[in-house]
Chains A and B, each alone.
Chain A
């Protein structure tokens, strides 16, 4: 059974502080890892598609790294802002590209 774990489940961060959280996935049969941001009352929005071991991607203040050998990805947010409050989901895609498994998400709350 393939399992994708995200930690922590929930996180409260002071505005201006930086933070990070983790997505763990099976290291075998890996094809890609997707990160999505899901704000309340909106649609989940794609952040990154990561495929290569050692990948590092950046979008503004948000960046992500990928370690396929040990099966984890980190998402970093620098200088948190209120608009960063959302649930961050990761999704593992298997080697054949025919299975997708989401984690339960990390719910991020930015405190003013």
Chain B
């Protein structure tokens, strides 16, 4: 069956450019998470959606980061005016349950490099 997909898989951006990263979760999954993984670190929580509602955005590092999930399925993470410190792998995960208690199914990630 279809898993979580993310696009693009790789993105190179010039500093100051805006980028949009897409996540297609497993159909029917209520919860959707975005994580940022810098080199040598574990995934750091960015934001959480329950259906279309963004219930937690406490992990977004600055107001340049914005996420949406308007119809409760596909989600987009947008980064405005990218900086070099934004270079990381951005992981999306979805789960059937509400909140964080259930197994999460991850996409392959988008590797963002900001030059």
Contact = CB atoms under 8 A, between A and B. Distances in A.
A46 B105 contact: yes
Q: How large is the interface on B (under 10, 10 to 19, 20 to 34, 35 or more residues)?
A: 20 to 34
Interface residues of A, number: 24
Interface stretch (B11-19, B39-47, B72-80): B39-47
Contacts of B4: 43
A98 B103 contact: no
B103 A34 contact: yes
A104 B99 contact: no
A101 B101 contact: no
Contacts of A59: none
Contacts of A6: 42
Contact of B91 (A41, A44, A46, A101): A44
B45 A100 contact: yes
Interface in B41-97: 41-45, 55-56, 91, 93
Given A101-B45, A102-B42, A103-B42, A43 B104 contact: no
Given A89-B42, A98-B56, A100-B45, A46 B101 contact: no
25 contacts: A4-B42, A31-B101, A32-B101, A36-B106, A41-B108, A42-B108, A43-B4, A44-B43, A44-B91, A44-B93, A44-B106, A45-B106, A46-B105, A49-B102, A89-B43, A97-B101, A98-B55, A98-B99, A99-B45, A99-B100, A101-B45, A102-B42, A102-B44, A103-B42, A105-B42
Interface of A: 4, 6, 31-32, 34, 36, 41-46, 49, 89, 93, 97-105
Interface of B: 3-4, 33, 35, 40-45, 55-56, 91, 93, 99-109
